[in-house]
Amino acid sequence: MHDFIERPSRDIVELLAPARILRAGINLSNFLLVTGRTPGGDPVGVSPDMARALATLLDADVRYVCYESPGLVADAAEKDEWDVALIGAEPQRAAVIAFAPAYTEIEASYLVPRNSAIRDIAEIDRPGVRIAVTDRTAYGLWLDRNIASAELVRTKTLDEAAQVFAAQGLEALAGLRPRLISDVDAIPNTRILEGRFMAVQQAVGTPIRKAEAVGFLRKFVRGAIESGFVAGLIEKHAVDGLTVAASGSS
């Protein structure tokens, strides 16, 4: 079915898919990568299809292990709940997850009040600026590392971040650009800053204890990109705002 790379060795199959079942950790909160559910409850979208393609190469069935946020996916890395996970690759997560290079990228930017004096992303990180951000997202982790002077107002969900930004009159709302496009329509008198402060690198990872499999996962991702498989999934699911990562990027 997916012949863009050769099948892995028996050792890799046993490592990633014991009993010929690949448990794939899926972040349900990423609306670009999970775009729906089947009648039986399985996730539908780019990341579930990537997991299914990987399972096919392993000659295994796929079992989706779903979580409501990427932080919960990362928390489960040391609990033997999944064999691979499809989430944003961030340094904090790399302590417990071994990542292959990214297969897609998603731009992150800011929503600000229309009359805000802030005109450029470089002007965000200064005293007096309060940024609403969904906690433990990949872009939220990036802000944790890089924001020095502004204040991060953390929330549990994307909807809560938008609500807090509007209700409390904060200076900025951080988010993925496709989500901000819907937020700017829902929150009156707002605008999105041009450019990006980072791009979330959506990747395939495996628990550190299975890091021996990363070499194969790298080949899988590279083949999926170079063969056009990833681009085909984005087109299949009609996802606007998701782009194919450069082959071999990390």
Q: How much is the pLDDT for 2?
A: 60
Q: How much is the pLDDT for 209?
A: 97
Q: How much is the pLDDT for 227?
A: 94
pLDDT of 3 > 80? The answer is no
Considering the entire predicted model, what is its pTM?
0.85
d(CA 158, CA 204): 23
Find the mean pLDDT for residues 196-212: 96
Give the CATH fold of the 10-105+201-244 domain: D-Maltodextrin-Binding Protein; domain 2 (3.40.190)
Please check whether residue 198 is in contact with residue 108, taking contact to mean a CB–CB distance below 8 angstroms.
yes
pLDDT of 1 > 80? The answer is no
pLDDT of 248 > 80? The answer is no
Q: How much is the pLDDT for 30?
A: 92
CATH of 106-198, one of 3.40.190.10, 3.40.109.10, 3.40.640.10, 3.40.50.720: 3.40.190.10
Find the mean pLDDT for residues 222-231: 96
pLDDT of 219 > 60? The answer is yes
What's the chain's average pLDDT?
A: 95
Q: How much is the pLDDT for 190?
A: 98
Interval 31-59: pLDDT, tens: 999 999 999 999 999 999 999 999 999 99
Q: How far is CA 34 from CA 88, 189, 215, 238, in A?
A: 13, 30, 26, 12
Interval 130-188: pLDDT, tens: 999 999 999 999 999 999 999 999 999 999 999 999 999 999 999 999 999 999 999 99
SS3 content of the chain, % helix, strand, coil (to 5): 40, 30, 35
Find the mean pLDDT for residues 84-112: 96
Phi-psi region of 195 (alpha: psi -120 to 50; beta: other; left: phi over 0): left
The half-sphere exposure of 135 on its side-chain side, counting CA atoms within 13 A, is 6
**4 confidence band (pLDDT: 50, 70, 90):** confident
**246 confidence band (pLDDT: 50, 70, 90):** confident
Same topology, domains 10-105+201-244 and 106-198? Answer is yes
DSSP 8-state assignment for residue 192: E
Query: Can you give the residue ranges of every domain in the chain?
Result: 10-105+201-244, 106-198
d(CA 23, CA 18): 9
